A and B are shown apart, each in its own frame.
Chain A
Amino acid sequence: MLVIVNGEKVFLSAQLSIAEFLQQQDYRTERIVTELNGRIVSRESYGGILLKDGDKLEIVSFVGGG
């Protein structure tokens, strides 16, 4: 299964939820905002959304400073 993550092709050997994918990639979920196919998805729903072939995922990691 192929998904596009931040513009890059990523091959997944098994079906993963957004939460599982983020964990596998070592993202710190409390510091990110995730967009799936053009829509921001709530962090509460990461566990319940399974990634599908062709999905486009944008993961924005925030750093501190303001």
Chain B
Amino acid sequence: MTDISGFRTSLADRHGAEFAVRMRQARVAVAGLGGLGSNIAIMLVRMGVERLHLIDYDRVELSNLNRQQYAFGDIGRYKAEVLQEQLLGINPYAAIKTDCLRLNADNMAEVFAEDDIICEALDAAECKALLVDTLMTKYTDKKVVAASGMAGLGSANEIVTRKLNGRLYICGDGRSDCADMPLTAARAAVCAGHQAQTVCRLILGLE
């Protein structure tokens, strides 16, 4: 049985010691655990993030299985709890905090008080805008990696990461709305990959 030092040594061998230390000290939140958030969380833990905060009020439904990292047997369970189990399956030494709650204007700022970097991975455009507005104006130090436009059958190459200012990044094609077109597993995962890589670069001081 590999202990925590073995796990960390293995990651440091792969990524380098400095990379590994920085990743495990970061405090990252993922708001929304759908096609974006479930993928982002798994990527971050694989990259060595150990302190992760998962927020989603919702339970797994059959209609989620086309793109989200859940299985048939998870239907009816809270996404945050299912994902927490999966992440601990990848790294049993990770500290995964879960909040099964619905974000709103009253609780939004407080929920993320302990987090340094927040991934906005919500579904509705209004919720996305409210979360980004709240985090960017109620705090002066938090970094936000948001997403807008990952639906449709357009080329994955249209998805980009845009740096808006030193604390806000927006990933996506900026226009493809899920209300008008299908949301595919591949395009959602590409956008999730942009977000996870941006988080990684922020943690490593490369942005």
Contacts and interface: CB of A to CB of B under 8 A. Distances in A.
Contacts of B175: 63
Nearest to B179: A64
Given A40-B137, A42-B137, A60 B32 contact: no
Contact of A31 (B37, B129, B151, B176): B129
Interface in A18-39: 30-33, 35, 38-39
B150 interface: yes
Interface string B145-165: 011111100000000000011
B96 to A, nearest CB: 20
A9 interface: no
A2 interface: no
B35 interface: yes
A58 B165 CA distance: 10
A12 interface: no
A1 B170 CA distance: 30
Interface residues on A, range: 10 to 19
Contacts of B164: 35, 58, 60
A29 to B, nearest CB: 9
Interface of B: 32, 34-37, 121-126, 128-130, 132-133, 136-137, 146-151, 164-165, 168, 170, 172, 174-179, 183, 188
Interface of A: 30-33, 35, 38-43, 58, 60-66
